[in-house]
Amino acid sequence: MAAERFTGLAAVLATIRSEPSLTQGELTDRVGLGRSVVAERVSELEEAQLLVTGGLAPSTGGRAPRRLQINPHAGFVIGIDVTAYDLFVAAADLTGGILSSLHETIDVADGPEPILARVKVLTNRLLAQRTWPGELLAIAAGMAGPVAFDTGRTVGVPMLPGWEDHPVRAELEEEWDVPVWVDSRVNLLALAEARSNPAARTARNAIYFEFGVGCAASLIVDGQLYRGAHGLAGAIGHTAVAEASHVVCRCGRVGCLEAITSGWAIARDGRLLAESGRSPLLAAALAANGEVRPIDVTAAAEGGDAAAIALLERAAALLGSSMATVVAFFAPQLLIIGGGIARAGELALVPLRQALDSRILPAAAADLLVELPVLDENSGGVDGAVHLALEELFTRDQLPRLLSTVATRAALSA
């Protein structure tokens, strides 16, 4: 009976999170439980102050029905996004509304000890500044590399020495004594799009490709993340491609997709164009900054620099060709192209789409949407972390702890 009770409570919360302001009758139709059972679960959640009335719906005869909403003030969660060079921390209410956020620059290659120390400092600074009600109920964090979601431990890759099997979740739980979930940031970017992007909500099956410092993908299956064994689903950056057969990757191997299409590869090739004199705009960027960055290549291409345009088009076409196998196998309805290459817009999207379409069946290409993210990359990761924290917090397994926490708080404030 207890399991059925918490399953029902979780179903009510999940449904109202996805469709705010449902009436109790509409909720009953959605969750597939009996009317009396739904009434009991709603009453329990209202007593716990997790649900509140959000106004009245139009009457169809008799008393107007109440609209039900998650109580945004019943507590808050923290979302953390650790990128290769940036750290974002945000607090959000229980509807996902961002309350406050902080940012600082980092270098994830420094290793887990200094990076997680900065995570703690920045998060505690955010908590010290808070002016909103409620208490911290959960944390979710996205990491720059792959993560074994079930253990919350990082999966080491050669480019990030020291991060092998680090217990990120356990370390953060020890710091704040609340439930913590840790995932790869590409998964959190995908989750944020799945919850915020109208096309992704409609498509249900989608792939988010992140082409930035590295190359990775995240699969959305029936609206949910598919992580695979050890959290490694979508780790496409170090798969071999013929065009890179002579190029050494930063992982130490030869022939990786990342070695010719990632941000660092584009910057490397852009510098060669600058030094050879084939790109006047990149030569100017090199003279001014002492380096060529991926953003410089994009700016030069947008400025009409022929060599920079050719470089971006080649990288985008190679990405499109490499994506074809994944697309053919999974047959998604939507592809979202994120990361640094997305900043090039149509300059990259057009050759990418052309290369992709040339390598998949016409029937698959006809209905396939290829879009840029609707969320800014700097906010998408932390938004995804907030979504993850709330979705996990309201699951059947977490509800006993959550209800106990809010009951204790109510008793102390009485």
Whether domain 2-70 has CATH 1.10.10.10: yes
Whether domain 76-190+382-394 has CATH 2.60.40.3080: no
Q: For residue range 251-301, list pLDDT tens digits in order.
A: 888 999 999 999 999 999 999 999 999 999 999 999 999 999 999 999 999
CATH tag, 198-371: 3.30.420.40
DSSP state of 256: B
pLDDT at 62: 59
- Under a CB-based contact definition with an 8 Å cutoff, are residues 267 and 285 in contact? no
Same fold: 2-70 with 198-371: no
- What does the buried/exposed string (b/e) look like for 188-225 if buried means 16 or more CB atoms within 10 Å of the residue's CB? bbbbbbbbbbeebeebebbbbbbbbbbbbbbbbeeeeb
Chain CA centroid to CA 348, Å: 22
Cα-Cα-Cα-Cα torsion 359, 364, 365, 369, nearest 10 degrees, comes to -130
Q: For the chain, which residues make up each domain, given as ranges?
A: 2-70, 76-190+382-394, 198-371
pLDDT at 141: 98
Residue written as tokens 């050879």?
Answer: 276
Give pLDDT < 50 ranges for the chain: none
- What does the buried/exposed string (b/e) look like for 367-386 if buried means 16 or more CB atoms within 10 Å of the residue's CB? ebebbbbebebeebbbbbbb
Pairing of β 86-93 and β 76-82: antiparallel
Angle formed at CA 39 by CA 35 and CA 44, multiple of 5 degrees: 150
Question: % helix / strand / coil in the chain, to the nearest 5?
Answer: 50, 20, 30
Return d(Cα 334, Cα 209) in angstroms, integer. 11
**Token digits of residue 332:** 């998604």
